[in-house]
Amino acid sequence: MIKKVLLILVLTFSLNSFAQKPQRIGFIDMEYVLENIPEYTTAQAKINAKAITWQNKIEKQQKEIDDLKADLNNEKELLTKELIADKEEDIEIKELDLKKLQAAYFGTKGDLYFLRQQLVKPIQDLVYNAIQDIATKRRYDLIFDNSSNLIMLYTNKKYNISDLVIKSITRAKKVIEANNRQAKKGKKAVSKTSVVSEEAKQKLDTRAQKKAALQKKIKEKKAAQLKMRNIKKREALKKSIEAKRQARIKKIEDTKKAKEQKKEDN
């Protein structure tokens, strides 16, 4: 309704000012324009696929909730009040989680909104920029969207600039692609001039790596030798302690035998 009122006001203004200066008015069919932009079709397909995946997930969780409600209704007569309350609470929690999931996917600031912003908005900006460029160059005073809710009672095809918009977008894309190719060529040229220095750098890096590897090997070898010496020292210490222990045991046994022999002799 607001759009209709605005259109009436705009047309009234245009008619009132017609006596002062001629008005150049054009219109486009936005749906037709977007359908002729391959990137828009691809983006829309991606959005639809994601939306279907998210909707299937929501429907699956909704079915689980419905099944829980059906099971509860069938088992209610056999359950205690406490068990019924627990099951009802579980269902409420799942319903709350489902609402949060729906908002996360399809809410005003949900994943679908941001996906559209990411994929579709750049294309829409390209269209609007093309419209503005045509309006400026061809001195249009007003350009309407024929595919919107605005009521266009009559349109003359000669004022339809939809194909001009598509051509403008195609030219803009070609310019962007040419600039990208030129940038890539520049990068390749820079990379060719830096091949020699890169090779020299690689050689230095290789030498440094070999030196570091050799130092590491020497360090590891010294550490292994030190470890082996420590092991040998510990083994020698253990043998020495064991030999002393055996000597004490033998001395005690010899003393004991001598005492027993002395008793027998007496």
Domain positions in the chain? 2-182
Q: pLDDT grade, residue 184 (50/70/90)?
A: confident
Task: Say which residue, 60 or 185, is predicted with more confidence.
Answer: 60
Say if residue 167's pLDDT is above 80. yes
Say if residue 241's pLDDT is above 70. yes
Query: Which residues share a beta bridge with 25?
Result: 142
Task: Say which residue, 76 or 159, is predicted with more confidence.
Answer: 76
Task: Say which residue, 56 or 254, is predicted with more confidence.
Answer: 56
Q: Tell me which of 1-5, 47-51, 145-149, 252-256 is least confident.
A: 1-5
pLDDT of the residue at 6? 38
pTM: 0.54
Q: pLDDT grade, residue 48 (50/70/90)?
A: very high
Q: pLDDT grade, residue 191 (50/70/90)?
A: low
- Average model confidence (pLDDT) for the chain? 80
Say if residue 115's pLDDT is above 70. yes
Model confidence pLDDT, tens digit, residues 202-232 = 777 788 888 888 888 888 888 888 888 888 8
Q: pLDDT grade, residue 265 (50/70/90)?
A: confident
Torsion angle in degrees (nearest 10) through CA of 180, 184, 189, 190: 100
pLDDT of the residue at 58? 95
DSSP string, the chain: -HHHHHHHHHHHHHHHTTTTS---EEEE-HHHHHHT-HHHHHHHHHHHHHHHHHHHHHHHHHHHHHHHHHHHHHHGGGS-HHHHHHHHHHHHHHHHHHHHHHHHHHSTTSHHHHHHHHHTHHHHHHHHHHHHHHHHHTT-SEEEETTSSS--S---GGGB-HHHHHHHHHHHHHHHHHHHHHHHHHHHHHHHHTHHHHHHHHHHHHHHHHHHHHHHHHHHHHHHHHHHHHHHHHHHHHHHHHHHHHHHHHHHHHHHHHHHHHHHH-
Query: Which residues share a beta bridge with 160?
Result: 27
- Residues of the chain with pLDDT > 90, as a percent, come to 23
Q: Tell me which of 5-9, 94-98, 179-183, 196-200 is least confident.
A: 5-9
Q: pLDDT grade, residue 188 (50/70/90)?
A: low
Question: How many other CB atoms are found less than 10 A from the CB of residue 221?
Answer: 10
pLDDT of the residue at 243? 84
